[in-house]
Structure 1
Amino acid sequence: MQNLKIAVAQIPSLKGDVSANIKSHLLAIEKAAKAGVSYLVFPELSLTGYELELASELAFTIDDKRLLPLIESAIKYAICIAVGVPLFVNNAIHIAVIIISDLGDVNSYSKMHLHAGEETFIVEGTSHYLTKVQSSHGELNIANAICADIIHPIHAQTCYELGANIYMAGVLIGQRGYAADVRFLEGYSRDFNMLITMANHNQPTGAWLPIGKSAIWFAGKLLACANETEDALVVAEKRSRHWVGYVVEL
């Protein structure tokens, strides 16, 4: 069995253009699979852009037919993917990730901590979600997080207590908030001994100017970081008892 590789994708999202965004996701999935990645996470609301006023119009369902190309790609390349969407859950709209397994099974995680103003359009989620992955180093558990979740330490702590070894966040972070937000992530990697990954947007979306710089941390150290604007995968590879990180251009 080859070394476990997980990654985040730093790509732009076009406003409300789900079809075009799916195409860019498919390219990233293919590149990640060819690099040996087993689990790939995209930024917050990656399939629609951060366009909350369009959330009700664009919202997905768990069995949405628009997901079929992504499901087919996950099966074809034997990779698990987590894509960002507005999602209908119990007649309410959540900011969520749709998690598609390498067998095509579909699950979801909904953002549990909202930024101020999001409650106008969005209802918060109520439960964590962990995915089990097999590697040459045994079974590992991956926990998902979305943006504001990362600034609430109880979120990462609960994931750790549930058995997470890896904490993967899809976010939208601009220049002003970046330094403070990554201090939380760096701290979680040290305090909970989890590999921490963060997928950020690299082009404007909604009214925001994201700063890119998607990154990976372990044991309180930055392992790899994309620049502010490049389309890239940031990859973490488990080697023996340690993790290494590197950036792959898209």
Structure 2
Amino acid sequence: MSTLIIAAAQAISIAGDLAANIARHKRFMTVAAAQGVELLVFPELSLTGYEGAVAASLAIHPQDPVLQPLRDLARELNVTTVVGMPVRLPEKPVVLIGALILGADGSLGVYTKQHLHSGEEVIYAEGQGGPTLDVAGKTVALAVCADFSYASHAAAAAEQGADIYAAGVLISEKGYAPDTALLQGYARQHSMVVLMANHGGSTGGWVSAGRSAIWSADGSLIVAAPGAGDVLVVARQEGGTWQGQVIAVTEAQ
């Protein structure tokens, strides 16, 4: 019987502290692997926090050696992992909001945020999106926060045959109800599983609502975190049945 296990890493990012955030990402990846997770998605700019003041100084080329420990761990644990990082590409030396795909096979993919939130244009440039992923035979399309506020973005994912629409986000309490209504609607409209990985705490002056969630392809909620904090939000599919679980992630793990 076929199985699929995916998870949102609702992590608290330490402002501008790449080393500390890499260590925290490793902890989440290890906990996810113990649960058999095949796809793990972190929030927008998870490796630096949503910290515009330092984004330009922290932006890296995706192939930068600083990411090698995470790439090695993704391969070792066999967990395709999507992490958030400000990036610069050789052909476009502006700062972009990146979602880097650390493949379970050792590969590296790059998705760059296409639609900026108001005010982000002062720091970042619009990106070009990126390719779909193949995880356990499923097609995964990525989004970064404001991308999903455009119905055309989710529609394009569906046109590409996406089984899973996975978004790394920063959503406050005020925006939570309308934003999750959109995501749930995309699940139902396009028959896609929708995963939303939100920040676990305050970042860049924003207070995240947490409550990361995963919806099934009929729009029903599989699982959601109860609030903020460092938690792993896991959805397991066996046959046609989904089950959800929320697991606290602590420094002792």
Q: Distance in 2 between matches of 1:105 and 1:171?
A: 23
| Deviations, residues 197-216 of structure 1 (Å, cap 9, x unaligned) | 10111211011010100001
Q: Distance in 2 between matches of 1:95 and 1:107?
A: 14
Which residue does the alignment assign to 1:127? 129
Which residue does the alignment assign to 2:111? 109
TM-score (norm 2): 0.94
Q: Distance in 1 between matches of 2:99 and 2:93?
A: 17
| Deviations, residues 179-201 of structure 1 (Å, cap 9, x unaligned) | 00000001011000000010111
Q: Distance in 2 between matches of 1:2 and 1:33?
A: 18
Which residue does the alignment assign to 1:210? 208
Of 157, 160, 164, the residue aligned with 2:158 is: 160
SS at match of 2:237: strand
Letter matched to residue 102 of structure 1: A
Q: What is the Cα deviation at residue 228 of structure 1? A: 1.6
Q: Do residues 170 (structure 1) and 168 (structure 2) align?
A: yes
Letter matched to residue 21 of structure 2: N
Q: What is the Cα deviation at residue 125 of structure 1? A: 1.3
Q: Distance in 1 between matches of 2:135 and 2:208?
A: 30
Which residue does the alignment assign to 1:249? 248
Which residue does the alignment assign to 2:94? 92
User: Cα RMSD (Å) of the superposition?
Assistant: 1.2
| Deviations, residues 1-60 of structure 1 (Å, cap 9, x unaligned) | 862101110110001000000000000000000100011000000000001121110002
Q: Do residues 48 (structure 1) and 79 (structure 2) align?
A: no
| Deviations, residues 76-127 of structure 1 (Å, cap 9, x unaligned) | 1011000000010221111111101012111110111110010111111123
Do the aligned partners of 1:128 and 1:159 also contact (CA within 8 Å) in 2? no
Q: Distance in 2 between matches of 1:221 and 1:83?
A: 26
Give every structure 1 segment of 4 or more consecutive aligned residues whose post-TM-superposition deviation is greater than 3 Å.
none
**Identical aligned pairs, as a percentage?**
42
Do the aligned partners of 2:80 and 2:135 also contact (CA within 8 Å) in 1? no
Gaps of 5+ in 2: none
Q: Distance in 1 between matches of 2:43 and 2:109?
A: 17
Do the aligned partners of 2:88 and 2:95 also contact (CA within 8 Å) in 1? yes
How many residues align? The count is 246
